[in-house]
Amino acid sequence: DIVMTQSPDSLAVSLGERATINCKSSQSVLYSSNNKNYLAWYQQRPGQPPRLLIYWASTRESGVPDRFSGSGSGTDFTLTISSLQAEDVAVYYCQQYYSTSITFGQGTRLEIK
Amino acid sequence: QVQLVQSGAEVKEPGASVKVSCKASGYTFTGYYIHWVRQAPGQGLEWMGWINPDSGGADYAQKFQGRVTMTRDTSISTAYMELSRLTSDDTAVYYCARPYCNSTSCHIWFDTWGQGTLVTVSS
């Protein structure tokens, strides 16, 4: 299985500041035939199911605020929240779908400083 | 609107089995696979496998093979996940989720999730 490793495990950022979460895969999730990275990001608030934020590593899902952005390629990816809002307190997960055996990162807990 | 509604919380004894349901609405049930993902208390997300509601075919994560069975009833647009030989390590919230599909292909990111079903395994 492809192992997804996120860093840091937890993060505290002041309101209005930038938050950056990293995700590294144990092998490339870039599919050469279409030059797409098979990587998604989710947000999970307490007591709720995950919410899709980003797919193809950088494409924002409809309705997701533009302060959320994804970047990276191959094995190294980043989720950035440009200006942290109170409602962004959550756990964030990356997920690869390059392999049919789906795997998630361990999660990054984002809090307000 | 597209919706997945799961059955209620369960409490089971070690060694028992549990069957969780996931009722789909707002779209053609047989047009999209259903995946199952679980989350132990305070832990991350763990993918368990999928079922093709059209054919009934299924594929399971290696960790759960021999212990999980995914089925469906197309007449009521409902998918099921049954897990047997339960231990305390199976205490978790179990989610069903629908992958993204357009007119030409499907990709396994999940844009629709059920609300989750808490399964507690305790004697």
User: What's residue A7's pLDDT?
Assistant: 95
- pLDDT tens readout for residues A45-88: 999 999 999 999 999 999 999 999 999 999 999 999 999 999 99
Sequence-ordered list of residues with C-beta below 8 angstroms from that of A37, at least 6 positions apart, any chain: A29, A30, A31, A56, A57, A58, A72, A73, A74, A77
Contact status, residue B50 vs residue B110, Cβ threshold 8 Å: no
Contact status, residue B49 vs residue B36, Cβ threshold 8 Å: yes
Residue-averaged pLDDT of chain B: 96
User: What's residue B83's pLDDT?
Assistant: 98
DSSP, residue by residue, chain B = --EEEE---EEE-TT--EEEEEEEESS-GGGS-EEEEEE-TT--EEEEEEE-TTT--EEE-GGGTTTEEEEEEGGGTEEEEEE-S--GGG-EEEEEEEEEE-SS-EEEEEEEE---EEEEE--
pLDDT of B99 higher than 80: yes
In this complex, which of A49, A102, A104 lies closest to B44 when CB atoms are compared?
A104
Confidence of residue B106 (pLDDT cuts 50, 70, 90): confident
pLDDT of B105 higher than 90: no
d(CA B57, CA B52): 5
- pLDDT tens readout for residues A95-108: 999 999 999 999 99
Nearest chain B residue to A56 by CA distance is B109
Contact status, residue A46 vs residue A84, Cβ threshold 8 Å: no
Q: For the sheet containing B78-83, what is the strand order?
A: B3-6, B18-25, B78-83, B68-73
Confidence of residue B102 (pLDDT cuts 50, 70, 90): confident
C-alpha distance from A40 to closest chain B C-alpha (Å): 7
Confidence of residue A25 (pLDDT cuts 50, 70, 90): very high
User: What's residue A59's pLDDT?
Assistant: 97
* Diameter of chain B measured on Cα atoms: 49
Query: Is residue A87 classed as helix, strand or coil in its secondary structure?
Result: helix
Please state the rounded mean pLDDT for residues B85-102.
95
Handedness of CA B117, A42, A59, A75 (dihedral sign): negative
C-alpha distance from B26 to closest chain A C-alpha (Å): 18
Token pair recorded at residue A46? 């307490």
User: What's residue A47's pLDDT?
Assistant: 93
Count CA atoms within 13 Å of residue A27 on its CB side.
7
Confidence of residue A21 (pLDDT cuts 50, 70, 90): very high
- pLDDT tens readout for residues B84-93: 999 999 999 9
- pLDDT tens readout for residues B38-64: 999 999 999 999 999 999 999 999 999
Q: Which residues of B touch A7 (CB under 8 A)?
A: none
2-61 in chain A: CB under 8 A from chain B? 38, 40, 42, 49-52, 55, 61
